[in-house]
Amino acid sequence: METLTVSPKFQIVIPKTIRDDLHLTAGQKVQAIAYDDRIELIPVRPLPAMRGFLKGIETDVPRDEDRA
């Protein structure tokens, strides 16, 4: 686990190990979400980069008779 410091301007630096693991680049957008007592940072990926990310997911879902 990495520890970050919030600057007087409320800025943080994402550690290099995390940037490398998530393949973040300079200028890339990241969504910040407050969840309970923590902040989650989620990289915004372009739609073409998302192609195939659900490959292998189970698509056979049991459904009620009145549902299509």
In the prediction, which pLDDT does 14 show?
92
Distance CA 33, CA 16 (A): 21
- Global pTM? 0.60
In the prediction, which pLDDT does 59 show?
80
Query: pLDDT 10s digit of each residue in the chain, 68 long?
Result: 889 999 999 999 999 999 999 889 999 999 999 999 999 999 888 778 777 877 888 888 888 888 76
Measured at the CA of 19, the angle between CA 34 and CA 53, to 5 degrees, comes to 75
User: Looking at the chain, which runs of residues are DSSP E strands?
Assistant: 30-35, 38-43
Report all structural domains of the chain as residue ranges with CATH numbers, in order of start: 1-54 (2.10.260)
Of 48, 4, 40, nearest in space to 22 by CA: 40
